[in-house]
Amino acid sequence: MSKKATIYDIAKELNITAATVSRALNNNPKISEKTRELVLATATKLNYKQNRLALALKSGKSKNVGVVVPFINKNFFASVIRGIEDELYPKGFHVIISQTYEDTTREKKIIQNLLNAQVDGILLSTAFTEQNKEEFRESLKKNTPFILFDRVLRFKEISTVTIDDYQGGFKATEHLILQGCKRIAHFDVDQSIELYKHRFKGYKDALAKYNLPYRHEYVISLKSNMEAGKDAAEKLMNLPIPPDAIFSSTDNGLLGAVKYLQSQSVRIPEDLRVVGFSNEPFTQFMEPSISSVDQSPLEMGKMAAQVFLEQIENDSMDKVQSNVVLPAKLIVRKSSSK
């Protein structure tokens, strides 16, 4: 009773062979209408359900995909995963998630694990940087499709999905300039990560376009957390000529800065305007609400899923490589406008 019914059980019940049952279940044309109905009937009667594992072993397709991110309980990644699952579930795929904790050793193990589990593809936002790019490359030497998103590394034959970080940095900075700001500081995170490099370049190019001087003392590298943001803000305000705006590549860092500045009676936006990056949910509800660049995580997830689906369409043939770049949307709120 409790054991799961197999095609053998239903074959035995009907005095036919398992092969015939299989054919009936799979709409194989070579079968009589009568036996098909008989099979279907007893299948429901015995509460038969196909064993995906057996099918996977047989076909070589597990219908599972691995999704690898630093942490899943971060709004951005959770939303990307949502986009992926939204897109892949209807196609019959199951989404396996793993967290790297931003530890590259762990990331390598996870990839290996996923590969051993015979996933049909891996979508991941990597913890590796330009410095250890080659070490990461070794993990990719497989016939399994890899799709990199957000935090990517560029390789021939590996598809990527990112937003236009350069454009995001440029737009944010330009917006501050157009609001009348002349001394715009920048919170950077890590220049060995492509996306921060691009945001930084967007910042610099915007300054240049409007003939504003670039001052290195206005650029601070920090961890993406409140504490670091507070320290950075303190440092900036102690400068002989403090800035009148901050474009931060990290919302969390900016958050710490804003809280500190408010404690020091610096008025935002009157005394200093700020724009962040990521459009974290809290930016919307703060007082003042914080302007930020949206990363379209849902769309990013959907695109990554679609690229994966395309990849497994062309039967192993020419591995087309896609490099999707989503637009960066600046969300203007009170923190940067009058």
Chain residues that interact with a copy of itself, rule: CB under 8 A: 2, 49-54, 56-57, 62, 64, 71-75, 78-79, 81-82, 85-86, 89, 94-99, 112-118, 143, 255, 259, 281-282, 284-287, 297-298
7 binds, among DNA, a copy of itself, none (CB under 5 to 8 A by kind): DNA
Q: How many residues belong to the site for DNA (CB under 7 A)?
A: 32
Farthest-apart Cα atoms in the chain, separation: 92
89 binds, among a copy of itself, DNA, none (CB under 5 to 8 A by kind): a copy of itself
Does residue 34 belong to the site contacting DNA (CB under 7 A)? yes
* Closer by beta carbon to a copy of itself, 10 or else 95: 95
Looking at 12, 13, 25, 190, which residue binds DNA (CB under 7 A)?
A: 25
Q: Which of 15-23, 104-112, 136-144, 317-325 is the region at the interface with DNA (rule: CB under 7 A)?
A: 15-23
Question: What's the closest the beta carbon of residue 29 comes to DNA, in angstroms?
Answer: 7
75 binds, among a copy of itself, DNA, none (CB under 5 to 8 A by kind): a copy of itself
Question: What's the closest the beta carbon of residue 13 comes to DNA, in angstroms?
Answer: 12
* Closer by beta carbon to a copy of itself, 99 or else 126: 99
Answer whether 291's CB lies under 8 Å from 274's CB: yes
Question: What's the closest the beta carbon of residue 62 comes to a copy of itself, in angstroms?
Answer: 6
Question: What's the closest the beta carbon of residue 79 comes to a copy of itself, in angstroms?
Answer: 4
Answer whether 62's CB lies under 8 Å from 118's CB: yes
Question: Which CA distances in Å does 124 have to 71, 134, 152?
Answer: 12, 17, 8
Question: What's the closest the beta carbon of residue 17 comes to DNA, in angstroms?
Answer: 4
73 binds, among a copy of itself, DNA, none (CB under 5 to 8 A by kind): a copy of itself
Does residue 320 belong to the site contacting DNA (CB under 7 A)? no
Angle at which helix 104-116 crosses helix 133-140, to 10 degrees, equals 10
Residue showing tokens 């408010």: 262
Tokens, residue 285: 């509800």
Question: What's the closest the beta carbon of residue 207 comes to a copy of itself, in angstroms?
Answer: 30
> Parallel, antiparallel, or unpaired: how do β-strands 273-278 and 64-69 relate?
unpaired
Binding mask 42-71 for DNA (x = CB under 7 A): ------xxxx-xxx-xxxx-----------
Q: Footprint of DNA on this chain (CB under 7 A)?
A: 4, 6-8, 15-20, 22-23, 25-26, 28-32, 34-35, 48-51, 53-55, 57-60
